[in-house]
Structure 1
Amino acid sequence: MSLIPSRSLARALFPALLAVVLAVSACARGGGSDRPPEPGDRAVAKVQDETIWASDVKREAVAQGLVGEGEPLDVTSDLFRRVLDEVIDQKLLAREAERRGLDNSALAQRRLAATRERILGDMLVETVVNGTIDDKAVETIYREQVRLAETSEEIRSRLILSRTREEADAVIGLLAQGSAFEAVAQQRSIDEATRFSGGDLGYATLDVLPQAYADALRDKPAGSTVGPFQTEGGWAVLRVEDRRRETPPTLEQARPQIVRYLTYEGVRQLLEQLRGKAEVDVLLDGEATTREPASAPAKAPAAPAAVPAAPPLVVPAAPAPVKAR
């Protein structure tokens, strides 16, 4: 069960503001300073005269999504060493690019400036938005979402899967004679994933079960034996062990999702304020949108007149966000 409305999450995704880009951190020279950039930071490598700090590696791991913003990253771990090697390689590449003068080109300057803007935007988000997210704000959202959330019913069931209808009918006969469902599942079921646990499928809501199972279990009370009915894997016999209301996630389980939601909402509101105070002119019209930029590759020679030209490529619009559970 998702506590935060998926539409709110989807509409406010700003990865450009929330990612730290390694390219600029590698190209932005540290000048060889041995002063820790953060309290308690630790020097972990040196590329010529430039020190690499543990915080540099952690920041890159966060940018790649390998660890969360608040999660620790042990400097002795294999993950830390792998990311450290990537940071070293990137700095070596950046140094070589500088040696060849590639950073002086107009294209490089534009790309470096664009990445600098992304990082500054990220720092603004950290300063303005993240500072407003505290335990009280998280708990308020959690209580409200729990109050509004519609919980589904969960069903715990057991399965005996047979190859043929005749084998399934024989299973029904054994159960009618008083054989325990769990014992028959271990002896007769062909479903290797569940047979050794007595056919236990655990708790699940109907919408995540295969359609044939959901249809068979929909209105059956606890204690019912259902089947046999045909499925893609064979002939199934089910036993309904229990029915209960779905348990909402705890505050701690929901916290990461709520923090992301509050962050995205904060970014959205901040951008609305900035756009409201700034003059933004989009210099596009019907004619301009059909023109290619000056940097576009040269067009291929035109086809002979006898060969009809290919129809223009139509780029479909982005699909609407899929409602998440």
Structure 2
Amino acid sequence: MRPPKTRLFPLLFVAVVMLSACGQGSRREAAPEPDDTAVARVQDQTLWASDVRREAVAQGLIGEDEPLDVTSDLFRRVLDEVIDQKLLAAEAERRGLDNAALAQRRLEATRQRILGDMLVESVVDGAISDTAVETLYREQLRLARGSEEVRFRLILTATKPEADAVIGILGQGALFEAVAAERSIDEATRFSGGDLGYATLDVVPEAFANALRDAPTGATVGPVQTTGGWAVLRVEDRRTEAPPTLEQARPQIVRYLTYERVRQLLEQLRGKADVDVLIETGNPEPRPNRPSASVPARKAAA
């Protein structure tokens, strides 16, 4: 009796498939960031949603803290660009271009810039907090002197005799708003009664500022010659300029704290390092008290 045929080849096939599956599982890449999503594979490299978003930030297409929807047209466009970059880089490596001396220097320069940015981010993240922002805001409020704002109305005429006639009509008790609607040639304000709202005197034309500076509330002044003709003005109200709220001032405060912290870091590093400039540059300009424009302003930590 012949022995039963063994099922050697099927068993070997199953074993190979299982080993292959296990190997694939062991090579599965971990997401580089929490809740990251794999969005493409180029050759053997996985592209993640965070890679695409980082490229969009680098191109200035979105803000540093803005999300990027993986289903959006913008995401797909940037994804295609990242894929193209991967393919070009892979082809450059295949041709051995990465081994050239110039390539090595440029790659090292890029590496140094990335490491510098990461150091700045870590230092800034540790220095900027809500407490730091609020402390500086309160200090600025204490030191600030509120400027005076003036609310005034305007009737603009083409000639001085016309402006004198307006003064006469107003002197007879006519409403300023009605005369503005009828006689002013300033199309931007005539139908709002000539109302120009509140403004500090440093932002209005010099002729207006001189006329309004000492005029009390309710006074009519003019005619005042200006580039557009002759103006008759009336002071509606005066008030102290309201300071910005904390939220309004936050971006500027964060930018200042960022620049100041990076300046301090650079001073410390230069103080400990040996730096010799080997070229003659005449009288060097003083270094500004701010970092390079490439250093991004960061938001305060929550």
TM-score band, normalised by shorter chain = 0.7 to 0.9
Letter in 2 for 1:244: R
Q: Is the 1:186–1:197 contact (alpha carbons within 8 Å) kept by the matching residues of 2? A: yes
> Which of the residues 98, 106, 113 maps onto 1:111?
106
Give, in whole Å, the separation in 1 of the partners of 2:180 and 2:80.
51
Aligned-residue offset at 1:234: 1.3
CA distance in 2, matches of 1:160, 1:123: 58
Q: Does the 8 Å contact 1:169/1:228 carry over to 2?
A: yes
**Alpha-carbon shift at residue 91 of structure 1 (Å):** 4.8
- 5+ residue gaps, structure 2, are 1-26, 290-302
Consecutive unaligned residues of structure 1, counting only runs of 5 or more, are 1-31, 291-314
Query: Does residue 137 of the first structure (1) align with residue 137 of the second (2)?
Result: no
Matched, 1:189 2:198: no
Q: Which amino acid aligns with 1:254?
A: A
Kept in 2: contact 1:130–1:263 (CA 8 A): no
With over 3 angstroms needed to count, the CA separation of the structure-2 counterparts of 1:320 and 1:234, relative to structure 1, is farther
Q: Work out whether 1:273 is the aligned partner of 2:273.
A: no
SS at match of 1:238: strand
Q: Does the 8 Å contact 1:158/1:239 carry over to 2?
A: yes
Aligned partners of 1:237 and 1:316: how far apart in 2?
Answer: 53
Alignment partner of 1:222 is 2:223: no
2:278 pairs with 276, 283, 289, which one?
283
CA deviation after TM superposition for structure 1 residue 110, in Å:
1.4
The within-5 A match list for 1:234-273 is 234-273=229-268
Q: How does 1:34-53 map to 2 (within 5 A)?
A: 35-44=30-39, 50-53=45-48
User: How many Å separate the matches in 1 of 2:188 and 2:77?
Assistant: 35
In our comparison, the structure showing a higher alpha carbon Rg is 2
How many matched pairs?
Answer: 263
Aligned partner letter, 2:250: R
* 1:92 to 1:265, Cα distance in 2 relative to 1, 3 A: same
**Alpha-carbon distance change, 88 to 227 in structure 1, aligned in 2, over 3 angstroms:** farther
Question: Aligned residue for 1:297?
Answer: none
What's the offset of the Cα at 1:134?
1.1
Whether contact under 8 Å (1:33, 1:50) holds in the other structure is no
Alignment partner of 1:169 is 2:164:
yes
Using the size of structure 1 for normalisation, the TM-score is: 0.69
Shift of the 264–320 alpha-carbon distance from structure 1 to 2, 3 Å rule, reads closer
1:283 Cα deviation after fit: 2.5
Q: What is the deviation of 1:105?
A: 2.9
Which of the residues 54, 57, 64 maps onto 1:59? 54
Assess, with a 3 A threshold, how the Cα gap between structure 1 residues 216 and 102 changes in structure 2: closer, same or farther.
farther
SS of structure 2 residue aligned to 1:230:
strand
Counterpart position of 2:3: none
CA distance in 1 between partners of 2:179 and 2:71 (Å)? 50
Structure 2 residue identity aligned to 1:128: V
- 79-88 vs 149-158, which moves further: 79-88
Q: Counterpart in 2 of 1:178?
A: 173
Question: Counterpart of 1:263 in 2: which secondary structure?
Answer: helix
Percentage of identical aligned residues: 77
* Letter of the 1:183 counterpart: A
Q: Deviations over 1:194-226 (max 9, x none)?
A: 223222212111111121211221111111111
Query: How far does residue 86 in structure 1 lie from its aligned partner after superposition?
Result: 5.2
CA spacing shift, 1:283–1:66, aligned 2, 3 Å: same
Deviation readout 1:57-87 (Å, 9 max, x if unpaired): 4334444445443344455566656655654
